[in-house]
């Protein structure tokens, strides 16, 4: 990685940074000079990503986005290492699948807590740093095409991601005059470990081949493929850059034309 680039001197914090989209975002920001704090609950995957990045990366494990105490402790460690945070990427999320009728209240509450309330809690905790930085500060929420349309069998996830898009638009207006921007990136089905596990589950439960199971996810994309994590990361990189200063309150679909 490099200490030069358009994000040199910047401190980005990425939740859910141990794999998939979060890891790709961390790598992209570090390649362009940012110091990146990788946060999540499990230490091993975070350390694996940090090892790729090198000295520009710092790992904060045990970071539960549903716990104000864990967030406060994690942010204290991040600030001690790299100073105030001026780019926040809210990426942590879960997407359990079940029909609406079989979605328990516990599942509903858990998904809303992680995918929506987690964004609220982390953003509120980082906000003093972002406001102090002023113009150029960035909040980028990783939502989903599920925040822009409906999908069956993931009602809690769809509700949470619609909430993330709404929160994004509200905060963009509240902080517009500070020069801070708040945007959401809405990927379609993306080639991540979550999708791979879903394919394995479909194969195990239905007897379909892996190729047939993959087709369940690629059929919604007019390009007939999964989005790559790097494509999502490139969108985040643009939104975080100075040239995107007028992009605010947007929910940008990265989905091959699905939306």
Report the side by side order of strands in the sheet with 11-15. 57-60, 35-39, 11-15, 87-90, 138-142, 181-187, 251-254
Which candidate in 157, 175, 189, 217 is catalytic? 157
Q: Where are the beta strands (DSSP E) in the chain?
A: 11-15, 35-39, 57-60, 87-90, 138-142, 181-187, 251-254
157 part of the active site: yes
Q: CA 115 → CA 63, 98, 162, distances in Å?
A: 14, 16, 10
H or E segment to which residue 121 belongs: helix 118-133
Residues that are catalytic = 157
């Amino acid at each position: 990685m490099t200490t030069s680039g358009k994000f040199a001197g910047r401190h980005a914090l990425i939740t859910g940074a141990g794999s998939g989209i979060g890891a790709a975002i961390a790598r992209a920001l570090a390649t362009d000079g940012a110091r990146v704090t990788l946060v999540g609950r499990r230490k091993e995957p975070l350390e694996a990503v940090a090892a790729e990045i090198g000295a520009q990366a710092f790992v904060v494990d045990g970071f539960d986005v549903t716990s104000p105490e864990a967030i406060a402790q994690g942010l204290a460690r991040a600030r001690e290492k790299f100073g105030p945070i001026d780019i926040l990427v809210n990426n942590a999320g879960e997407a359990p699948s079940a029909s609406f009728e079989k979605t328990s209240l516990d599942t509903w509450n858990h998904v809303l807590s992680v995918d929506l309330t987690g964004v609220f809690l982390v953003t509120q905790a980082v906000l003093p740093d972002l406001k102090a930085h002023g113009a150029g500060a960035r909040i980028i929420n990783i939502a989903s095409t599920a925040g822009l349309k409906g999908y069956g069998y993931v009602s809690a996830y769809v509700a949470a991601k619609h909430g993330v898009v709404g929160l994004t638009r509200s905060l963009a207006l509240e902080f517009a005059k500070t020069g801070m921007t708040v945007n959401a990136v809405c990927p379609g089905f993306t080639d991540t470990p979550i999708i791979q596990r879903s394919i394995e589950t479909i194969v195990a439960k239905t007897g379909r081949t892996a190729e047939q199971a993959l087709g369940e996810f690629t059929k919604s994309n007019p390009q007939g493929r999964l989005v790559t994590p790097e494509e999502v990361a490139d969108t985040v990189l643009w939104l975080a850059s100075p040239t995107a200063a007028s992009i605010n309150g947007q929910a940008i679909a990265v989905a091959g034309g699905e939306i």
